[in-house]
Amino acid sequence: MARKRKAKHDTVATEAAIAAALQTEIDPPEHVTLPPDALLRFRLIVRARAQDTWNELDLEHAANLACCLADLERLREEVRAEGDVIENQRGTQIVNPKHTLMEVLSRRSVALSRMLHVHAEATQGRARDTGERTKKERDLRDALADASLDDEDLLGGRPEYRRH
């Protein structure tokens, strides 16, 4: 059975189609209800991949990941308010049980991110490649900082030329 070829991404027609697709947001499937705090996360998740790579099942999993992340943040805020250690009904100090829920949600979010290919390696590339990019960025940042110091020396430290 012959495979369907993907369109080349370096043609003008493909770039025009991508630009047109970017004018619309990808919505969660109609049968999935997302709370408002999860909808923003859903939008961020679907932007991590090209629009034409999402299918209905992927979008359902993306909605699940968005809800998972929203629940995780809600629990994190509750634990901050309640504390890491709470008192049970007997008066004994125990670890806040919400930590267990946070661990479960954390693991679920990692698994869903991997399944959807929206994790760091899928979106940014392999660690050894990103390490090289990070090193180049750090070197450039250092060079710009050095140049900034040189500019101050050249300008004689006059206040009207200092950056604010």
Lowest mean pLDDT among 38-42, 44-48, 108-112, 126-130: 126-130
Three-state SS for 107-134 is HHHHHHHHHHCCCHHHHHCCHHHHHHHH
pLDDT digits (tens, 9 = 90+) for 53-82: 999 999 999 999 999 999 999 999 999 999
pTM for the predicted model, two decimal places:
0.63
